[in-house]
Amino acid sequence: MTAALFVEQLFNGVQFGLMLFLMAVGVTLVFGIMRVINLAHGSLFMVGGYLLVACVQATGSYWVAVPVAITGVVVVGAAMEVLVLRPLYGRGHLDQVLATFGLTMFFNEAVVVIWGRLPLNVAIPAALDGSIQIFPGVHYPVYRLAITGAALVCGAILYVVIVHTRLGALIRAGSDKREMVEALGVNIGLLYTAVFALGAAFAGFAGMLTGPLLSVETGMGDPILILTLVCIVIGGTGSIRGALAGSLIVGVFDTFSRVMLPQIVGLTAGTAVVGMADYVLMALVLIFSRTGLFAAYRG
């Protein structure tokens, strides 16, 4: 592998990892605070992509479409929490898994009814099109750099909200002492809805960022959700730091494995090995730490 290719793939891995972080942080918040396993999180990723396409077609502007689409995903997420998940808080994880898996199938079929089965495309905004030279002889797409920057900004905003605001203090307290927070007069139901809507916004935003790179199609969130769960297991459940670390590890490892493994073991065998590589990495981490890298942290 040449130095130029190494640098390019490293940037690709970091960009992919930060996109996974936008997904993982939503799952981590919902599970760590609300103790809910949400298998429909990938559907919010998909809904974000479809709403972006619809809003771009309606407004003709990518920049107008993004905030409108995020608002739509937040509304969908809040409705999911109120109508489906809230009645399941006192039930076991199996009931939550079955309900959210059912939501996944519902959303996959709903987008087919509304938008059809054919993949949809949205163009990269003109201001973010093209590439720039990041190192001598290495040109990199501007849009991928924009995704990296947007994910970093989202992570910084989340850190400020969780650590330095009253809402963040209530979120942290509600994850450990729900009864105490309720006794202080806080509407814990509204707090949980806000947490779920925040996670939905991150997932939808990730889908919007990915939309111009890949086709928007039904079921596009399912493989991303699986990788997201791998990130969370590696980083440690309930930990935002763990979600970031696990996502970056998986993003870089997945990117390099797809480039290097076919060259090492051959094209045919490499394709099969690449499909297993992330899970082998997860198994190796669990051998040395059954709770992941940052499970001791909450937040």
Confidence at residue 93, expressed as pLDDT on a 0 to 100 scale: 82
Which conformational region is residue 20 in: left (phi greater than 0), alpha (psi within -120 to 50 degrees), or beta? alpha
In the chain, the domains with their CATH numbers are 13-122+142-288 (1.10.3470)
Q: How far apart are CA 269 and CA 192, in angstroms?
A: 46
| pLDDT single digits (tens) 169-225 | 877 776 666 777 777 777 878 888 988 999 999 999 999 999 888 889 999 999 999
Mean per-residue pLDDT for 147-162? 90
pLDDT > 70: what percent of the chain?
A: 94
Residue 48 has pLDDT above 90, yes or no: yes
More reliable by pLDDT, 261 or 279: 279
Q: How far apart are CA 34 and CA 253, in angstroms?
A: 30
How far, in Å, CA of 45 to CA of 229, rounded? 14
Residue 279 has pLDDT above 50, yes or no: yes
Local confidence band at 34 (pLDDT 50, 70, 90 cut-offs)? confident
**85 or 184, greater pLDDT:** 85
Computed over every residue of the chain, the mean pLDDT equals 87
More confident residue, 254 or 34: 254
Asked if residue 30 has pLDDT above 70, the reply is yes
Distance CA(221)–CA(210), nearest Å, equals 11
- Output the pTM of the full model: 0.90
Top mean-pLDDT range of 157-171, 183-197, 236-250: 236-250
Instruction: Classify residue 215 as left (phi > 0), alpha (psi -120 to 50) or beta.
Output: beta
